[in-house]
Amino acid sequence: MHRERRRAGWETHEAPLDLVGIIRELAQDAAPILVDCLTLWLSNLLLGGHDIEAAITGLESVLDDAWAPVVAVSNEVGLGIVPENALARRFRDEAGRLNQRLAARADRVLLMVAGLRLEVK
């Protein structure tokens, strides 16, 4: 569906794991980049047994060096109940840390609630 909803002229690049590589490649053109979504990327990393800390550090580095504006979409998963299983709790905690780290670097942070925009930063 994400391919069908895009406007003419938009390009879709699938990067289930190598988000850093695709941002590095695309950011050289200075055209805006939409990353949708960070929590899916994190889920792929977590389920694949990848080094989460190294991946996030790499993402921070490529975002710091990007010439292009980058808009990143992420899910807020920490507002509900504490998950009952260890994997779900780890995912919630890792997503929270990822969101905090990128929000600290971001020029602007928006929270969407029921289709309404709340400016956080």
Active-site residue set: 2
Chain position carrying tokens 């260890």: 86
- Comparing C-alpha atoms, which of 96, 30, 21, 100 is closest to residue 61? 21
* 59, burial (CB in 10 Å: exposed 0-12, middle 13-18, buried 19+): buried
Taking CA atoms, 26 is separated from 2, 5, 15, 89, 94, in Å, by 19, 21, 12, 33, 26
Contact criterion met (CB below 8 Å) for 67 and 33 = no
